[in-house]
Structure 1
Amino acid sequence: MWYIILIPVVAVAILNVVYNWQAGHCHSQRRLDGKTALVTGASAGIGKETALDLARRGARVILACRNVEKAQRIADEIIKESGNSNVVVREVDTSKLSSVRHFANEILKTETHLDILVNNAGIPGSLRRTLTTDGLELTMATNHYGHFLLTNILLELLKKSAPSRIVNVSSVMHHYCGKLDPEDLNFEKTSYNFFKAYNQSKLCNVLFTLELSERLRGSGIVANSLHPGCVRTEINSKVGGLFGFMLSLPQYLISKDSKLGAQTSIHLAVSEEIESVSGKYFVDCKESTCSKLGSHRGMSKKLWLASELDVKLEPHESILYTS
């Protein structure tokens, strides 16, 4: 009866081969000499592979990470593999608004230009609702609010460096967020669960990109979001325990490695064909269809205004300040 076990194993293996075969690849050979790129969450997974690719193209690459020690080891690896010594580490925790503000203001002081911003850092969330020191739900703070604030503060430098690009790493899971209440983004009124928080944060990435592209029209800055695919990274294992193992299991059955998972991020950061494309959602290096809610202009505007209030955005912090 050994074949009863063999058949599903072979089937999964074939599906995995097909999944990887049809995955998108960035074919652009564009060089980035003289350009500066910033990648959040670049110490592992697709963030690391994105940073490595940009460094190989000659860019100055800033690894914006929470764990500086770990990030420095990755930076040393990137320098060795790319032959580009212009790779630096800067500390930022996107779940903490004070950390984001300090980091962003240091970038404004020390960098003369910023050509590419890749908002990649993210967490799967916690099993129980957890609030940050700012009173924000942890998943939303890390995956949405932190990048919303960071991007706004850096817009002046991005505009100065135009043409420039913003890449927001979202997920196909945003399709599973059926509704969004801009007045209850932190689950104060509605019940919290792990999946709801993550899916909502990924929907916010898409809506933020949509509204950002509208507000930046004519500025020389383009912004797009993406789903990297099912990728073998450490993100789900951070949940811990049996639940974390169960979440990670599908990644090891049918999934991409981090290098392949980074291709769409790289494509949006460098490809010549994306120069005038903004506010779109990409999968496998091709424009795709986001959820109906993810393309709702009214909701994107409401989310923007709510986010401004929640991060306490100040007039001097953004060229797009509206509150």
Structure 2
Amino acid sequence: MTPGTMEGKICFITGATSGIGLESARALARQGATVVLSGRDKGRGEAALAEVRRTVPDAKLDLLLADLTSMASVRQLVSDFQARYSRLDVLLNNAGLILDRRKVTADGFEATFATNHLAHFLLTNLLLDMLKSSGAARVVNVASEGHRFVSLDFLDDPQAERGSYSGTQVYSSSKLANILFSRALAKRLTGTKVTSNSLHPGVVRTGFGHNSEGFFKHLVKLASPFMLSAEGGARTSVYLASAPEVEGVTAKYFAKCKVARESKAAQDDAAAEKLWRMSAELVGVG
């Protein structure tokens, strides 16, 4: 991307203190954007700022802390952001979680569904007015090809309360939710200049999955030599956030910086509407 092409733009990235979120922040800062990084841990957040400034000395950066397993924390994150900024040009919903065992958040939600979908659903909805008032803004949702491994049956048990818990299946369901959410959001943004797209970053060699304790962590370790670097995994996110040629493009799923065909389930508009209504009720938005 050309340096300076994002000058004057405000970009907000969740899960930005490591992995593809950090590399997305670096790339957008290199283009001149003001990049607001969101993460859970202050120490890791400050280390991320220092790491970006190591390679982009004049980077315009900010750090906001939030725990995306908590909807109250998401609401506070929005309040903190709006206290500092009057516009938002790019919202990159990047944070992700996978667990071996079912965990329930303080709100009573299954943790992977809460972090990967509900937190971003709430965050985006609370920032919609700001996005709309900023002109040709973009919402970019990091999904995964893993969405192909599950069906729409997850909508009947979104909290994974029935049967034995499979971390990979729950994660894949949350990635299907990301695409359905992106699709339903694009529909609601019709008539505005704001776009909503989702993407597959590739199979990326990062710290993702290291909070897992069993088979998935072992699988990640074995596959690591064959995976993309975090920088490579960030390319499609950065492309959707900044490339002039995708301005106005919406309701699409991308892989390797190109439009890709999502699964049949991910194209189901009725399912997208069902998920939207369910999510709105769970997190308390209109």
TM-score scaled by structure 2? 0.96
What displacement does 1:235 show?
A: 0.6
- For residue 246 of structure 1, report the CA deviation from its aligned partner: 2.4
Q: Partner of 2:116 in structure 1?
A: 143
Decide whether the 8 Å contact of 1:237 with 1:245 is kept in 2. no
Greater shift after overlay, 62-71 or 234-243?
Answer: 234-243
Bigger radius of gyration: 1
Which residue of the partner structure matches residue 71 of structure 1? Answer: 45
**SS in structure 2 of the partner of residue 166 of structure 1:** strand
Where does residue 306 of structure 1 map in the other structure? 278
1:84 to 55, 58, 80: 58
Q: What residue is the counterpart of 2:11 in the other structure? A: 37
Equivalent position of 1:209 in the other structure:
182
8 Å contact from structure 2 (residues 64, 80) kept in 1:
no
Q: How far did 1:41 drift? A: 0.6
Pick the aligned partner of 1:155 from 108, 112, 128. 128
Deviation, structure 1 residue 29:
5.7
Deviations 1:166-201 (A, max 9, x none): 110000000001223434210234542111110100
Is the deviation greater in 68-77 or in 283-292?
68-77
1:69-88 Cα distance to aligned partner (Å, 9 max, x none): 11111102212311224201
Alignment of 1:96-135 (within 5 A): 96-124=70-98, 126-135=99-108
The equivalences for 1:1-323 within 5 A come to 27=1, 31-124=5-98, 126-240=99-213, 243-252=216-225, 254-313=226-285, 321=286
- Quote how far apart the aligned CAs of 1:150 are: 0.4
The Cα offsets for residues 121-164 of structure 1, whole Å up to 9 and x where unpaired, read as: 0012x222111010100000110000000000011111111110
Gapped regions of structure 2 (runs ≥ 5): none
SS in 2 for 1:64: strand
Label 1:218 to 1:28 Cα distance change in 2 as closer, same or farther (>3 A): farther
Closer, same or farther in 2 for the Cα pair 1:182/1:240, shift >3 Å? closer
Query: What is the aligned residue count?
Result: 286
Tell me the CA shift for residue 28 of structure 1. 5.6
Would you identify which runs of 4 or more consecutive aligned residues in structure 1 move more than 6 Å? none
- Letter of the structure 2 residue corresponding to residue 245 of structure 1: H
RMSD, matched Cα: 1.5
**How far apart, CA to CA, are the structure 1 residues paired with 2:163 and 2:213?**
25
> Structure 1 regions of 5+ residues with no counterpart?
1-26, 314-320
- Provide the residue aligned with 1:3 in structure 2: none
Q: Is the 8 A contact 2:181 2:275 kept in 1?
A: yes
* Post-superposition offset of 1:37: 0.4
Aligned partners of 2:68 and 2:119 also within 8 Å: yes
User: Partners of 1:83 and 1:28 in 2: how far apart?
Assistant: 17
Segment drifting more, 239-248 vs 99-108 = 239-248
Letter in 1 for 2:213: G
Kept in 1, the 8 Å contact 2:2–2:31? The answer is no
Please tell me whether the aligned partners of residues 6 and 33 of structure 2 are also in contact (alpha carbons under 8 angstroms).
yes
Contact 2:3 2:32 in 1 (8 A): no
Q: What secondary structure does 1:180 align onto?
A: helix
What letter is aligned with 2:210?
A: S
Query: Contact 2:136/2:248 (CA < 8 Å) preserved in 1?
Result: no
SS at match of 1:38: strand
Q: Work out whether residues 162 and 221 of structure 1, in 8 Å CA contact, stay in contact via their aligned partners in 2.
A: yes
Q: For 1:18-61, what per-residue CA distance to the aligned partner results, in whole angstroms no more than 9, with x for missing partners? A: xxxxxxxxx56661111110111111111000000110111111
Aligned-partner residue type, residue 207 of structure 1: L
Counterpart CA distance in 2 for 1:189 and 1:309 is 21
